[in-house]
Amino acid sequence: MKNFKYVYNISIFSLLLIVCGCQEEEFEFGDISAPTISSVLAEAPSLGDPEYGTGNVFFDLQGEDIITYIIYTGDGRSESFKFDGNAKAMINYAAPGINTYTYTIIAVGIGGITSSTTGEVTVFTDLDDTTKSIFGLLAGSTTADSSKTWKLDAGDEPGFYGVGPGGVNVPQNDGDLVYWWAPTSSDFNEDCLFNDELTFNFDLENFTLSMSTDNMGDTWYHDDYTPGIPGGSNTAECLEATPPSVSVSITNAGSELLPEFTTDRAIELGGDGFMGLYIGNATRTYEILSIDCNLVSLRIFFFDDEEDRFNAWYLRFRAVEDATDCGITLPN
């Protein structure tokens, strides 16, 4: 019985030791300070700098109690960086031209406390070589404000206007893709189509391309669309209309043609723009089959839906003023 009491007393003592040994330790942070942003320098390369035209902007952030920081770039993106007080963060802006962005920097400190600042940066992003060459061929130059006027290349040589295939298996006739119907001007002569003058304008300050049209009062409407036009009937005809001035961008065509028959780039018109022939509002994208100083050959699908992408209009335009020696060619 005495032995039992001894063991019991020892057990109680051990339990007290365990309880005392498991008391929770308390830790405390010192005073937590919000991160301080003392300065931000956003540097875009200037003319003459090897980085000029790359779209790169370098952010130099200075401050205290900063662990990391986030740059909201102003074009829908954000990137995070570790702060060390020395290295600059680099952000690339891809949109071509001279653009101004409003950025926001959020500095993150201990405990996730943040501070922020906002600023603006203007940066120039050059076009890729192919797009830049196409801009220059269409408008005459990319080194100064310029404009260049084009007309449908109507004449005795077929291919300036016609209907051909638009699908994968495109028939070829000595390299001529205008395969089903390709009239000469003696077979098909519509002054309201042939006399349209399309002028491409390049704005150096904003590095943008636009197009305006002088249709001499009338526009040639395809018969699928004349019923919806005031004064229209059910046949293709010339109708009074004023084509709008529109923005122009050069996009990847995603072409199904073999490389020897296309540049795989396209002229994409903004708004309700069209090039000479009005074929509705379904599409504004003209695949560039070939282009040089004097001639540009295009095709445009009848409609955007896949069912009608087997049919395409083929158009060829010639520069109004001879530009044989324009000095611009597409890169290989």
Tell me which of 254 and 168 has the higher pLDDT: 254
Whole-number pLDDT of residue 295: 95
Mean pLDDT (whole number) for 214-233: 62
Q: Looking at 8-17, 208-217, 280-289, which range is the least confident one?
A: 8-17
Q: Which domains does the chain have, with CATH numbers?
A: 36-125 (2.60.40.10), 129-319 (no CATH)
Interacting residues of 76 by C-beta distance below 8 A, sequence separation 6+: none
- Separation between Cα atoms, residue 275 and residue 219, nearest integer Å: 10
Whole-number pLDDT of residue 226: 46
- Largest Cα–Cα distance in the chain? 131
pLDDT band at 189 (very low <50, low <70, confident <90, very high): low
Given a cut of 80, whether residue 275 has pLDDT beyond it is yes
Whole-number pLDDT of residue 320: 95
Locate the DSSP E strands across the chain: 36-43, 56-64, 68-72, 78-82, 89-92, 97-108, 114-125, 146-152, 161-165, 197-203, 208-214, 218-221, 237-240, 246-252, 265-269, 277-278, 285-291, 295-301, 311-319
- Separation between Cα atoms, residue 177 and residue 164, nearest integer Å: 7
- Separation between Cα atoms, residue 300 and residue 287, nearest integer Å: 6
Q: Looking at 46-60, 64-78, 100-114, 277-291, which range is the least confident one?
A: 277-291
Residue-wise pLDDT for 4-35, tens only, equals 344 434 444 443 444 444 455 555 555 778 99
Whole-number pLDDT of residue 144: 94
Interacting residues of 103 by C-beta distance below 8 A, sequence separation 6+: 42, 59, 71, 72, 73, 74, 91, 118, 119, 120, 121
Classify 175 in phi/psi space as left (phi over 0), alpha (psi -120 to 50) or beta. left
Given a cut of 70, whether residue 231 has pLDDT beyond it is no
Looking at the chain, the whole-number percentage of residues with pLDDT higher than 90 is: 48
DSSP state of 136: H
Mean pLDDT (whole number) for 264-272: 91
Given a cut of 80, whether residue 321 has pLDDT beyond it is yes
Q: Report DSSP letters for 146-211, one per residue.
A: EEEEEEE--SSSTTSEEEEE-SSS---BTTB---SB---TTT---HHHHT-EEEEEEETTTTEEEE
Given a cut of 50, whether residue 185 has pLDDT beyond it is yes
Mean pLDDT (whole number) for 109-117: 96
Do 190 and 223 contact (CB within 8 A), yes or no?
Answer: no
Whole-number pLDDT of residue 330: 93
Amino acid at 316: R
Whole-number pLDDT of residue 305: 53
Residue-wise pLDDT for 118-167, tens only, equals 999 999 999 899 999 999 999 999 999 999 999 988 877 777 888 887 76
Whole-number pLDDT of residue 4: 39
- Separation between Cα atoms, residue 47 and residue 53, nearest integer Å: 8
Mean pLDDT (whole number) for 205-229: 75
Whole-number pLDDT of residue 284: 82
